[in-house]
Structure 1
Amino acid sequence: MGFAMVENIYYFVHVYADGGMEAWGTNVFVRSILFGLNHALFSSMTGLGIAIARMATNPLLRFAAPVIGWSTAMFLHFLHNFTVSFDNLLCLVAFIFDWGGLALTMVIIVWALYQERQWLRKYLVEEVQLGVLTLNQYETVCSGRKRSGHRFQTLLSQGLRPYWQLSRFYYRCSELAYKKHHFALFQDARNQQLIEDIRQDLTTLGR
């Protein structure tokens, strides 16, 4: 997004200098609204590839996923630049691909939130048995609505410091679930130690 901002400023200044206010207004609408999230879409493809590689147990997939994600980002950028270079219906192709890609990204985000909820339920129930979490804490952690409500109520009734401490507690709960999932895949000593460290942290934060 930093590159997109710099590029937009460059185009805004030069279009205004060359074409005046009317051309500037059109350029701002096209670059900031119509195609305003393009670079976020392109970057998300690379990020998706890295995320897949991080959770993959197959060595070939761990290598290939970031490359495929990066290549997809480059292809989408090329497709956008190619189609908008024509002043005809090909511009509609760019619009469909760009916003269609963003819609796909939103679907992935919703799926990821659902997957996170499943991991929280699966991996944190053991923490209740170990005494790291209470049953009430577990039920709240596993519900996005309850977490948000609890944080908001804490902010209003107790102020910023307890709010930030509670937010860190919920963040560490999510982190614990992710680390336990990662450990279940790879059985590595590093994540096992991180799991124990997070448990100690939660014991302190949850008091």
Structure 2
Amino acid sequence: MVGLGFAMTENIAYYGRAVQGGVGSLTFIFVLRGMVAPFSHPLFTSMTGIGLGWSRQSDNGFIKVTMPALGFMLAIILHATWNGSATYGGGAGFIAAYFLIMGPAFIITLMTIFFSLRREGQIVRRFLYVDCERGLLEPKEYEKLCTIRGRMGMSWTALTTRGFSMWRARMRCNQIASELAFHRSRVTRGFGRNPQTAQAREAEYLQMLQALQQQLGSVPRPPR
């Protein structure tokens, strides 16, 4: 989202300057930035996000320190390559960079997102099952939380039938459920040296989750 926001802002500036050059110039810039490579800035920014996410989920001290910096450096390198291919390589350099570097990088990023979402579903299924058994989560809601399609379906239903505020509550509920599952996963793997802090954090997640469900009208059953 950060990359998309930056790209939108930068595109407005480019389109504004292109208007001064006439319809031909504006058309060229629009096709280049809006159709050929609309994913470029989100791709660059995602490298930093991947580095931060990898660091967050790893218990290796070296990875925790180096991955955010490595992701940031990779974002800089990709951006510099993209700009340099057009500035110094001409049309041939731009096309070569597009198909040999940017295209494969985009595909790899999509694959990373796919496997990350699948892993998230597995973690949610494993670590929120106890909440389904206790009655905090309804079985249907639990199953939907385990898949991106189910989450999107619940969010879309909330938006179209109950309005924007309920959509925001549903999205927040999905997020808190995932954070709770990942918190339990990290605790299981030995993350965090203070058990009391971990228990307090879990209690906070459970309290937020229950409050959001009550807001959504899904009142949890009494825990068994």
- TM (norm. structure 2) is 0.77
Equivalent residue runs for 1:18-167 within 5 Å: 19-85=21-87, 86-96=89-99, 97-153=101-157, 159-160=162-163, 165-167=169-171
Quick one: structure 1 residues 45 and 168, their matched pair in 2 at CA, closer, same or farther if it must change by over 3 Å? closer
Instruction: Report the count of equivalent residues.
Output: 205
Contact 2:15–2:29 under 8 Å retained in 1: yes
Q: In the aligned structure 1, how far is the partner of 2:76 from the partner of 2:210?
A: 46
1:30-82 residue CA offsets vs partner (Å, 9 max, x unmatched)? 12221222111111101111111111211111110011101111111121122
Aligned residues with identical type, % of pairs: 26
Quick one: structure 1 residues 142 and 35, their matched pair in 2 at CA, closer, same or farther if it must change by over 3 Å? closer
Q: In the aligned structure 2, how far is the partner of 1:188 from the partner of 1:141?
A: 29
Instruction: Give the one of 196, 203, 206 matched to 1:199.
Output: 206
Q: In the aligned structure 1, how far is the partner of 2:115 from the partner of 2:152?
A: 19
Structure 1 residue identity aligned to 2:209: L
The SS at the match of 2:90 is: coil
Structure 2 residue identity aligned to 1:26: F
1:145-182 residue CA offsets vs partner (Å, 9 max, x unmatched)? 4444455556666x336665554433322221121122
Contact 2:117–2:148 under 8 Å retained in 1: no
Unaligned runs of 5+ in 1: none
User: CA shift at 1:112, angstroms?
Assistant: 1.4
The SS at the match of 2:22 is: helix
Q: Which moved more, 1:44-53 or 1:195-204?
A: 195-204
1:187 aligns with 2:192: yes
- TM (norm. structure 1) is 0.83
Q: In the aligned structure 1, how far is the partner of 2:139 from the partner of 2:10?
A: 51
Q: CA RMSD in A?
A: 2.6
Q: In the aligned structure 1, how far is the partner of 2:177 from the partner of 2:28?
A: 47
Unaligned runs of 5+ in 2: 220-224
Quick one: structure 1 residues 13 and 68, their matched pair in 2 at CA, closer, same or farther if it must change by over 3 Å? same
Q: In the aligned structure 2, how far is the partner of 1:15 from the partner of 1:167?
A: 39
1:176 aligns with 2:180: yes
